Structure 1
Amino acid sequence: MKTADIFKNKTVFSLEIFPPRPDTDESVIYDTLDHLTDISPDFISVTYGAGGGKNGSRTIKIASDIQNRYGVESVAHLPCIGLTKEQARVILDSMSDNGIENILALRGDLPEGSTPAGDFRHASDLISFIKENYSFNILAACYPEIHPESRNAVDDLHWLKHKVDCGADHLITQLFLDNSYFCDFREKALLAGVDVPIEAGIMPVTNKRQIERMVKLCGVDLPKRFIRVLEKYEHDPNALRDAGIAYAIDQITDLIALGVDGIHLYTMNDPYVAHRIFDAVHNMLAVRSLVS
């Protein structure tokens, strides 16, 4: 099933996982999936994984197994930076041969100090290529606090609309910790003509190192309320984990009440955290689905 079709009748709840590193026992991810699929998510996305392009085959295998072994819809991530069109065709053909219908088309991180070779400079280039040559449902990323490389919010929305015009069927946001950014972004995106489902990406922040990395990589604003939580529990890992879960639950319940199209939970491969959050919000998701 194409993920864009799921939004027609319900508030979507989906999960993201990452493959194990190439030097790690593959069975670990299936132990994780055994527990995550108990939630019965609407779909599970699989990142291109630690280890970069060489780990792409694991992404395809896991995404295929999610569908064929677990009976859950899957999405395979595909970063395009450094890829030639010929290489992209090989990957896309493999995804198609494995029954994958949904692809999250991404640019990927630029290597430091060099300009990568390849035929794709932006995610929109990959989206256009897929749309012209395949029948995949295409997901794309968006940024409530604007992409770090955008000049301003207007520029960012211009390029987001371009992604949709190129063929993106469904958007997932970068993580954010202040729902006001998402609400403002969603309103402006609609005014800009972005008319596809926008799913809110939520990452439960459960340790201090994760927070520091998130701020460095994504430029995410830390609300005062969140900073107070961090300062209070930073030296108590279990308390900080529980506080991070509670913060994510508050975010999600507020977003559902505001009529969000869907919630995409960045699980960090932690079924315990995912279950705690789903158990807290699933009744509200069900009510929203009944009245949609």
Structure 2
Amino acid sequence: MTALSLAQLAEARSALEAPLFADLAGDAAVSFEFFPPKTEKMEETLWASVEMLAPLQPRFVSVTYGAGGSTRERTHATVARIARETSIPAAAHLTCVDATREEIDAVARDYWAAGVRHIVALRGDPPGEGRAFQSTPGGYANAADLVAGLRKVAPFEISVAAYPECHPDSAHVQADLDNLKAKIDAGAHRAITQFFFSPETFFRFRDAAAAAGIDAELVPGIMPVTNFAATRRMAAMCGTDVPAWMARLFEGLDDLPAARQLVAATLTAELCRKLYAGGVRHFHFYTLNRAELSFAICHLLGLRAAPKAERAAA
């Protein structure tokens, strides 16, 4: 038995013998994902969320990129503002869809000029539901190709996507792992997973990735369930299993938002606690531009807001 597994065993025993969230060390790192706002009201909500989560000193916050590059300008404006007005490292999503290499490289150079040093490099989804991905003539063929291209533009920190339950477009699990390894070998620094609802899903994936020779950091993507029906739709699109017990737990809560929030916070916090017991020390939250659930879960994980003086110094 290795020293690591002994430490995990001790952590598991502690979790069983005390309240689940008692005396956590607060040694986890976190990051948060937002999407660019469409309206002035949505922009107010986004910045209120950024302000609430900033005191947790996230490793970075990322901003998504719509299908087919449909939010390119809004993504750039949001990321540039985060880089300009906060001390949080900002990461911009960038995809291969409907753009040539020259166009994508120009976007990347604009990000670098705006002070953005981190890119989340993705193949991307084509515009129009149900359409198959096709690389643009003169464009990047896939995410691994995009990573290699970005490495030539500037020394970006690069994150990529990973799929614990296999990407829907992959022929099989091994092909999906081979694709992830290609992205890491091309120069990506870490992989952030699609959301999932069982800790065993992540642990099995972590083991399979290690067996495939993938030694980069694997960060679990965490989706607090604010709307169960919407989450189930998203899960169906990306091949994520939704356990039947989740439907039963959220049944009857459609018109009770406060109760729904309590259930969501409990479920997601338990997932994070089990991941923590298994050695995970970085969590990436898909916030949907709402901060409360993510903040509460981080608090349960032992993280506390840094004093204002400390944040200013950072």
Fold-level similarity (TM above 0.5)? yes
From 226, 229, 240, give the equivalent of 1:206.
Answer: 226
**Matched residues, number:** 274
Is the 8 Å Cα contact of residues 189 and 217 (structure 2) preserved in structure 1?
Answer: yes
Q: How much does 1:212 deviate?
A: 2.7
> Counterparts of 1:279 and 1:190 in 2: how far apart (Å)?
30
Q: Is 1:117 the counterpart of 2:132 in the alignment?
A: no
Judged with a 3 Å threshold, the aligned counterparts in structure 2 of structure 1 residues 63 and 212 are, in CA distance, closer, same or farther, namely same
Determine if contact 1:60/1:98 at 8 Å carries over to the other structure.
no
Among 225, 231, 238, the residue aligned to 2:251:
231
Q: Does 1:144 align with 2:160?
A: no
RMSD: 2.2
Write the distance in 1 (CA, Å) between the matches of 2:259 and 2:111. Answer: 41
Letter in 1 for 2:192: I
User: Do residues 280 (structure 1) and 300 (structure 2) align?
Assistant: yes
Contact 1:47–1:59, Cα closer than 8 Å, also in 2: yes
Amino acid paired to 1:21: K
> After alignment, is 77-86 or 115-124 more displaced?
115-124
Inter-CA distance 29–165: structure 2 relative to 1 (3 Å threshold): same
Instruction: Describe the shift of the 1:23–1:38 C-alpha distance in structure 2 as closer, same or farther (beyond 3 A).
Output: closer
**Post-superposition offset of 1:26:** 4.1
Find out whether 1:42 has 2:59 as its counterpart. yes
Compared CA separation, residues 261 and 153, structure 1 to 2 (3 A): farther
2:201 corresponding residue in structure 1 = 181
TM-score by length of 2: 0.80
* Structure 1 residues 173-197: Cα deviation after superposition (integer angstroms, max 9, x where no partner): 0000111111000011011111111
Distance in structure 2 (CA, Å) of the matches to 1:95 and 1:59: 10
How far 1:278 moved relative to its partner? 1.5
Residue 95 of structure 1 is matched in structure 2 by 111
Q: Residue 149 of structure 2 aligns with which residue?
A: 129
Does the CA contact (< 8 Å) of 2:56 and 2:303 recur in 1? Answer: no
What's 2:71 paired with? 55
Secondary structure in 2 matching 1:57? helix
The 1:180–1:232 alpha-carbon spacing in structure 2 relative to 1, beyond 3 Å, is: farther
2:288 to 256, 259, 268: 268
Identity %: 33
Which residue of the partner structure matches residue 160 of structure 1? 180
- Contact 1:21–1:55 (8 Å) recurs in 2: no
Q: Which deviations, in whole Å up to 9, do the C-alpha atoms of 1:107-136 show, x marking residues without a partner?
A: 111244474634123111111111233211
User: Which structure would you say has the larger Rg?
Assistant: 2
Distance 1:221 1:11 in 2: 26
| Residue 76 in structure 1 maps to residue 96 in structure 2 | no
What is the deviation of 1:149? 0.9
Is the alpha carbon distance of 1:46 and 1:232 closer, same or farther for their aligned partners in structure 2, counting shifts above 3 Å? same
1:105–1:140 Cα contact (<8 Å) kept: yes
Q: Of residues 186, 190, 197 in structure 2, which corresponds to 1:170?
A: 190
Encode CA deviations 1:37-88: one digit per residue, 9 max, x unaligned.
1332221111125x86353233223223323311011111111111101101
The 10-residue stretch of structure 1 (69-78 or 108-117) with the greater mean CA deviation from structure 2? 108-117
- Is the Cα–Cα contact under 8 Å of residues 166 and 239 in structure 2 kept in the other structure? no
Q: Contact 1:12–1:263 at 8 Å: present in 2 too?
A: yes
Paired residue type of 1:179 = P
In 2: Cα distance, 1:137 partner to 1:42 partner: 12
| Unaligned runs of at least 5 residues, structure 1 | 1-9, 285-292
